[in-house]
Amino acid sequence: MDNKENIALDYRYELPVVEGNLKKSDIDDLIAAPLEKKANKNFYISLALSGTALLIGVVCIATTLFNGIGVWGNNQPVGWAFDIVNFVFWVGIGHAGTLISAILFLFRQRWRTGIARFAEAMTIFAVMCAALFPVLHTGRPWLAGYLFPYPNQNGLWINFNSPLVWDVFAVSTYFTVSLVFWYIGLIPDFASLRDRTLSKTKKIIYSILSLGWRHSHRQWQHYEKAYMLLAGFATPLVLSVHTIVSFDFAVSVLPGWHTTIFPPYFVAGAIFSGFAMVVTVLLFVRKIFHLEQIITLNHLEKMNKVILATGMMVGYAYAMEFFMAWYSGVPTEQFVFINRAFGPYAWAYWIMISCNVLFPQLFWFKKIRRSTTAMLVIVILVNVGMWFERFVIIVTSLHRDFLPSSWGMYSPTLIDFGILLGSFGLFFTLVILFTKSMPAVSMSEVKAVTEGAQPQHHGVSDHE
Amino acid sequence: MNNNPLFAVAAVYDNPDKIISAVTKIANSGYRKFDVNTPYPLHGMDGAMKLKSSKLGFITLFFGLTGAATALLLAWWTLSVDYPLIIGGKPFFALPAFIPVTFELTVLLATVSTVICMLTFFFRFPANSYPIHDTQYMKDVSGDKFGVYVEAADSRFDLTELTILFNETGAVRIDQIYLPAKEVYPLFQPKFLWFLFSVFVITSIITYFSLNKLMYMEPFDWMADQQKQSVQKMSVFYSDEFGMRTPVKGTVARGFIPYKYLGQAVPSDTMKNPLPPTSSVLELGKKKFLTFCSPCHGNFADGDSRLRGQFVNPPSLHTSRARTITDGFIYHIITNGQNAMPSYSSQVTREERWSIINYLRVLQKAKNASDADLKMAKKESVSDGK
């Protein structure tokens, strides 16, 4: 199908997942191209930029480790600041990957195939960035082993009642399961690359990574079952992870945190920010690696619709928080929310509202949903807005609570900004290296959804 | 290559419908040892190959339940048996609070063991030397073709019959796959031994470095070196270079109460005993008497020193003088010292001194009891027994 902006799209029929009548061998060539061709100048420029950001982060982390977390801006009464803001932000980014790979798989959304691999990789990298922050937040990262239950000399055990321990289990399980899910998806592609490559070294590497995969249907049968089971487990897992992250706040008694709306609100926000980040990165990837026929405008449009929907859920949560503060009749609760919108951090609150609730409304227009420039601007604004959402939740709730004598202000230091920049550096460095070293789009899954890929006599759509 | 025995005969197709019909025919002809290789799973192939549904789900179920049980048992045993601790007013076994960890561990064990079991037991991976690896057939089915092969080990194997079948169903190409030459890797070959040796050396160096060097470097040294003045260290700040400061003249320590008869051989006046002889006071007095007094005065204040003449033997404390002097005078002796006995004011606190005196009075009474006292004691013991 020719996809030009002036042709009206008929949404009553399923749009083709792969455009331009690509043959299966063309798909392999397209996806494997970044791995087989020499890197161009743009690759090195982008790697240098993200590597610089990463190095700045490394220097700032080293400073923190050497001098202690006193070099950060955190102080009474704002004991949680950039560290926890960044943690929640990055964990949220990760959620889009699992949503695309697991939840859309269970819903038999065939368009997920083009973006699932990339989004899963982003999940893993985002969780790596996220895990950095609570570990640094403890101040003594080399003692992080104490977070796990093991029989030790002190005879002490971890406190299973604590949301912070739940966090440790949730994030480490999430990382492990995402990694396994991602690797399982990569095995057939590694096998295809192993059989394509002409280089001896690459062949050894791909042989090891593919474990000897033979594309045998006796393997595919179990493989599909395992994939479905994993998707079935990853779906409640992804919901549980941000629920548990929200428990870090909701289980406390602090006004502004102690609300039961937090789990669904956080999960919606996570998917919102995650999709925004996936769209941001995919816009560049499809351009640079000429994947416009596999990661089509239709894909991006569908993701923009998800952004619009989750953005409104988040907007509903913002409104409901204010309603509950008024309805509860608790003066401190009411004060915290008025202070949020009109207090000293009002600027952060209004950045959050405009970026998360107002700007995504532009996605009601099809022209904007399908314009790469417009969506790039909006999704970057969403990323900014979601970072500020966590800043607003954490800092404005902490800086003025029950006792006016212990009110205070928070201002981050250069080190705080350096570590935040470094986490972006780490994320993008990993993303760039990933696109160069592994198939960024699942070859076997995309081939399976091209036209004529499945037998006709068997009937259609009784199975994905 | 052709000297090796035949492994299988394989056919390559370029259309999913053709391979499904070919596989249906092969399965219907009674072949068992055959396999289909496709770049992605084909719908309807399970039925064409007559495969039973995957049993992988049972593994997931088993390990999922194991994960849940492990988490609950661990939380229960650690927090209600091994180290019970009341946390936030919750019961020791706070089930709602244990749900998150239970859920996470269920998911972790279920998914990871499903994948591990699938790869190792179902697929027997890693297996990079299967006969079809590195053949043109494998290259085709990795890309965009569909292939099927029947193993020569199958009891019904018939090369000509299969070739006809493949040709009839529209195969693009028919290959004969031979077993690869057997490769033997002896355990004691120089390359492998060198590999083992280098792993050993690298592991040793890293372990040695991290345990013996890294743990003594900042900031991993548990804050051993801090920017503060420690007591016995030299100071660069003070002109006299002493880290430890002497108090200003006339400084009085917290809680210090001056003893005004200090230094007098016979005090001009004595204090009154502020402590009543309660059982706790007597317990304390006994303890302190046995610690500080008994080495010279003897366990029962008989003056039977345990020091075997290495120090002057003090007199018995059961003399009439010792029994008649006031508590305050004994306090003065302990505080100030007398004859060969030094002052004990730095070792024994004020309360302890008065407790010792109370205990000493008990000893004296026990050794010099009158008949009336005996009667009294008997009466009390009888009444106690009631």
Q: What is the 3-state secondary structure (H, E, C) of A398-438?
A: HHCCCCHHHCCCCCCCHHHHHHHHHHHHHHHHHHHHHHHHC
Of B196, B228, B260, the domain-final residue? B228
For residue B249, being part of any structural domain is answered with: no
A175 → chain B, closest CA residue: B108
Side chain identity, residue B15: N
Instruction: Look at residue A460 in the predicted model and tell me its pLDDT.
Output: 42
Question: Are residues B132 and B35 located together in one domain of the fold?
Answer: yes
What CA–CA distance (Å, rounded) separates A387 from A462? 42
464 residues of chain A, pLDDT tens digit each:
444 444 566 766 667 777 777 788 888 888 888 888 888 888 899 999 999 999 999 999 999 988 888 899 999 899 999 999 999 999 999 988 888 888 889 988 888 888 899 999 999 999 999 999 999 998 888 888 888 899 888 888 999 999 999 999 999 999 999 999 999 999 999 999 999 888 899 999 999 999 999 999 999 999 999 999 999 999 999 999 999 999 999 999 899 999 999 999 999 999 999 999 999 999 998 888 888 888 889 899 999 999 999 999 999 999 999 999 999 999 999 999 999 999 999 999 999 999 999 999 999 999 999 999 999 999 999 999 999 999 999 999 999 988 899 999 999 999 999 999 999 999 999 999 999 889 999 988 888 888 888 887 544 444 43
Task: Spell out which residues of chain A touch residue B45, defining contact as CB-CB under 8 Å.
Answer: 217, 220-221
Question: Are residues B15 and B139 located together in one domain of the fold?
Answer: yes
Domains in chain A (CATH in brackets) are 40-448 (1.20.1630.10)
Of B196, B213, B228, the domain-final residue? B228
CB contact under 8 A, B35 and A216: yes
Q: How does pLDDT run across A340-385, given as a tens digit for each residue? A: 999 999 999 999 999 999 999 999 999 999 999 999 999 999 999 9
For residue B145, being part of any structural domain is answered with: yes
CB contact under 8 A, A220 and B45: yes
Question: Are residues B23 and B154 located together in one domain of the fold?
Answer: yes
Number of separate domains in chain B: 3
B172 touches chain A (CB under 8 A): no
For residue B13, being part of any structural domain is answered with: yes
* Angstrom distances, CA of residue A419 to CA of A89, A136, B130: 14, 10, 49
Question: Are residues B21 and B40 located together in one domain of the fold?
Answer: yes
CB contact under 8 A, A220 and B49: no
B296 touches chain A (CB under 8 A): no
Residues, chain B = 386
For residue B256, being part of any structural domain is answered with: no
Residues 6+ apart with CB under 8 A from B361: B277, B327
For chain B of 386 residues, list the mean pLDDT of each consecutive stretch of 10.
80 90 90 91 89 91 96 93 89 92 95 94 87 89 90 88 90 89 84 94 96 84 77 87 87 83 81 88 93 90 83 86 88 89 89 92 87 79 58
A150 touches chain B (CB under 8 A): no
CB contact under 8 A, B107 and A142: no
For residue B116, being part of any structural domain is answered with: yes
For residue B53, being part of any structural domain is answered with: yes
Question: Are residues B171 and B191 located together in one domain of the fold?
Answer: no
Side chain identity, residue A187: I
Question: Are residues B34 and B139 located together in one domain of the fold?
Answer: yes
Please say whether the beta carbons of A169 and B101 come within 8 A: yes
* Angstrom distances, CA of residue B41 to CA of A215, A447, A449, B20, B156: 8, 10, 11, 12, 27
Task: Spell out which residues of chain A touch residue B79, defining contact as CB-CB under 8 Å.
Answer: 157, 159-161
CATH number of the domain that residue B331 is part of: 1.10.760.10
Best mutation target, B86, B111, B113, to test chain A (most A CBs within 10 A) = B111
Question: Are residues B216 and B335 located together in one domain of the fold?
Answer: no
Domain that holds residue B324: 279-385
For residue B262, being part of any structural domain is answered with: no
Minimum-distance CB partner of B94 among A161, A211, A462: A161
Question: Are residues B215 and B364 located together in one domain of the fold?
Answer: no
Please say whether the beta carbons of A124 and A175 come within 8 A: yes
CB contact under 8 A, B126 and A211: yes
* Angstrom distances, CA of residue A296 to CA of A17, A33, A123, A212: 8, 18, 21, 32
Question: Are residues B167 and B202 located together in one domain of the fold?
Answer: no
Question: Are residues B42 and B169 located together in one domain of the fold?
Answer: yes
Of B141, B163, B178, the domain-final residue? B178
Helix ranges, chain B (H): 16-28, 45-49, 56-76, 95-117, 136-143, 159-168, 190-208, 279-288, 294-297, 320-324, 327-336, 350-367, 371-385
Question: Are residues B201 and B215 located together in one domain of the fold?
Answer: yes
CB contact under 8 A, B82 and A247: no
Question: Are residues B311 and B216 located together in one domain of the fold?
Answer: no
For residue B30, being part of any structural domain is answered with: yes
